[in-house]
Amino acid sequence: DVQLVESGGGLVQPGDSLRISCAASGFTFSTSWMTWVRQAPGKGLEWVTNINQEGSAKYYVDSVKGRFSISRDNAKNSLYLQMNSLRAEDTAVYYCVRLDNSGYMAYWGQGTLVTVSS
């Protein structure tokens, strides 16, 4: 079975940095596009970033460009999101998602909560 398990969320102060991780299993990670989607408390879903299989192509929503960086380690079946200069508006549950053909999201992790507050 496909499993995506996020970790690393927590409470940080505005301006801080945090790296969250996603451990993937049950599929060939190295041949899959991956994505991060976030959801602020009580709000809708927001696509954050995609990365291709080799890690050579990365795309970001404007609100995180220059602050967030997606990466992957195919040898470890792991996906990462490095978040710098965090703001209160980055507070959300962050989901690790496998991106399938045509850009749809068939497999989601359980999410990790990132709270940015002083």
User: Which residues of the chain form contacts with another protein (CB under 8 A)?
Assistant: 44-47, 50, 59-62, 95, 100, 102-106, 108-111
E strand or H helix that includes residue 45: strand 45-51
CB nearer to another protein: pick between 46 and 84: 46
Q: How far is residue 98's CA from residue 100's CA, in Å, rounded to a whole number?
A: 6
CB nearer to another protein: pick between 39 and 118: 39
Token pair of 67 as six digits: 């602050």
Residue 83 burial (CB count, 10 A): 23
Token pair of 16 as six digits: 């801080």
CB nearer to another protein: pick between 23 and 105: 105
Report which residue type is found at 39.
Q
Token pair of 44 as six digits: 């809708």
Nearest to 13 by CA among 71, 83, 61, 78: 83
CB nearer to another protein: pick between 11 and 106: 106
Q: How far is the CB of 18 from another protein (least distance, A)?
A: 20
